[in-house]
Structure 1
Amino acid sequence: MTAPLRLVLVDDHEMVLHGLVAMLGHFATEVVITGQATTATAALTLVADERPDVVLCDVRIGKESGLDLCRQITAQYPETKVVLLTVYDDEHYLYQALRVGASGYILKRIDGQELVAHLRRVRDGETVIDHALAGRVALSAARLSAGEFWPGAHLGLTQRESEVLELLVSGHSNKGVASKLVVSEDTVKTHIRGLYRKLGVSDRSGAIAVALREGLFR
């Protein structure tokens, strides 16, 4: 028989941790929870000590970033897989998660049996994406294969600058953009300066005007 999957849980809400423990308790022969953490620092210590097969963590851990934690774990302990379990039904977070080495992105409405199945697939080397997002990812892949790159690519924008511009057009503040992309406000300001330069504008309203004129976002 296959040995039980060794799992570390990371979430800043004790209630969520208790809920996961209770749910996964029904699958004790398949999953063993080797530790729980409410901060990124505690999570790293647990991973170092326990060397679990999988770490299941949220995109946000209080004021800390689960994406940063994922990056650190996959760099320092490549044998440990990281799966993001979150309420954020948002491609921005999904793409960020995949960029930093996550092996899965699952929404918190998942049931126990499906979660365990996904965790086993991750341990076996697969990447899993919640079915609610999989269709959008497939559409993006189809557009890329057809040569339809990210909006603004023909204007010289990087994919990240395009993402920032889309959020500006949607009315997000710098702080809101930073929250959406899980980066610092200073990083957002750097991207904004870059897209201003490439679009030949000097302020936010000018950038939005170019985006609307070019029909970059529908």
Structure 2
Amino acid sequence: MGVPVRVVLVDDHEMILAGLSAMLAGFAGRVRVVGQAGTGAEAARLVTALRPDVALLDVRLGPESGLDLCRTLTRLVPETRVVFLSVYDDEQYVFEALRAGAAGYLLKRVDGPELVRRLEEVARGETVIDPTLAGRMVVTAARLTRGEFWPGADRGLTQRESEVLSLLVTGLSNRAIASRLVLSEETVKSHLRALYRKLEVTDRSAAVAVALREGLFR
């Protein structure tokens, strides 16, 4: 039997961490959990110190972004491969995860044997995608190539985020955008934070500049 895959678990829910740890404990000869973290900062410190084979992350870590953490980890510890374990079965999340440098995207309904097998594949250098998402990704990629999606879809924007960005380009305030789309201002702010992250900007002016420069809206 080979050396067990060394894994750090990252999730902001203690019950999830406990459940994953218990699940993987039954495969100690193949996978060994060497650390657990509940925040991005804690995870960055732990992974940097332990340098595991795999960091298993959730996409959302409370108010933090697992995608941002993935970018940080791949920069700080490139030898550690990042795999997302998420409840979100939207292929757009997968595209964004891969753009962030992830080596895999699995759904939380995965069972123990499948999870262990996937972690071993990632440790060998493979990229793994949950089977229920892989086929949809191929179709989505083909449609993106044909330009059949909304502006910004190739950057990972959801259709709603694209709508918010289009109104941002016209100069509308958050309140006006909320009124136009029949949303709360807080929801609009949440969409803005997401699209800022995906466009790799920090404010509305920069987001508008990217949208215009790339011809997303005219």
- Which residue of structure 2 aligns with residue 191 of structure 1? 207
* Uncovered stretches (5+) of structure 2, i.e. residues with no partner: 165-180
1:6·1:52 contact (CA, 8 Å) conserved in 2? Answer: yes
C-alpha distance in structure 1 between counterparts of 2:209 and 2:49, whole Å = 43
C-alpha distance in structure 1 between counterparts of 2:196 and 2:132, whole Å = 21
1:96·1:181 contact (CA, 8 Å) conserved in 2? Answer: no
- So what's the TM-score if we normalise by structure 2? 0.77
- Which residue of structure 2 aligns with residue 32 of structure 1? 32
C-alpha distance in structure 2 between counterparts of 1:188 and 1:159, whole Å = 20
Task: Give, in angstroms, the shift of residue 180 of structure 1.
Answer: 5.5
Distance 1:128 1:179, change over 3 A: farther
Q: Does 1:23 align with 2:39?
A: no
**1:140-186 residue CA offsets vs partner (Å, 9 max, x unmatched):** 33345xx5136367xxx6833x8355545495753342466583897
Distance 1:71 1:195, change over 3 A: closer
* Uncovered stretches (5+) of structure 1, i.e. residues with no partner: 201-218
- Which residue of structure 2 aligns with residue 127 of structure 1? 127
Task: Give, in angstroms, the shift of residue 192 of structure 1.
Answer: 4.9
Q: Does 1:163 align with 2:157?
A: yes
1:164·1:177 contact (CA, 8 Å) conserved in 2? Answer: no
Structure 2 residue matching 1:29: 3-state secondary structure: coil
- Which residue of structure 2 aligns with residue 93 of structure 1? 93
1:104·1:128 contact (CA, 8 Å) conserved in 2? Answer: yes
Matched-pair identity in %: 48
Distance 1:164 1:108, change over 3 A: closer
5 Å-filtered alignment, 1:5-24, equals 5-24=5-24
Note the aligned Cα RMSD (angstroms). Answer: 2.9
Distance 1:169 1:4, change over 3 A: same
- So what's the TM-score if we normalise by structure 1? 0.77
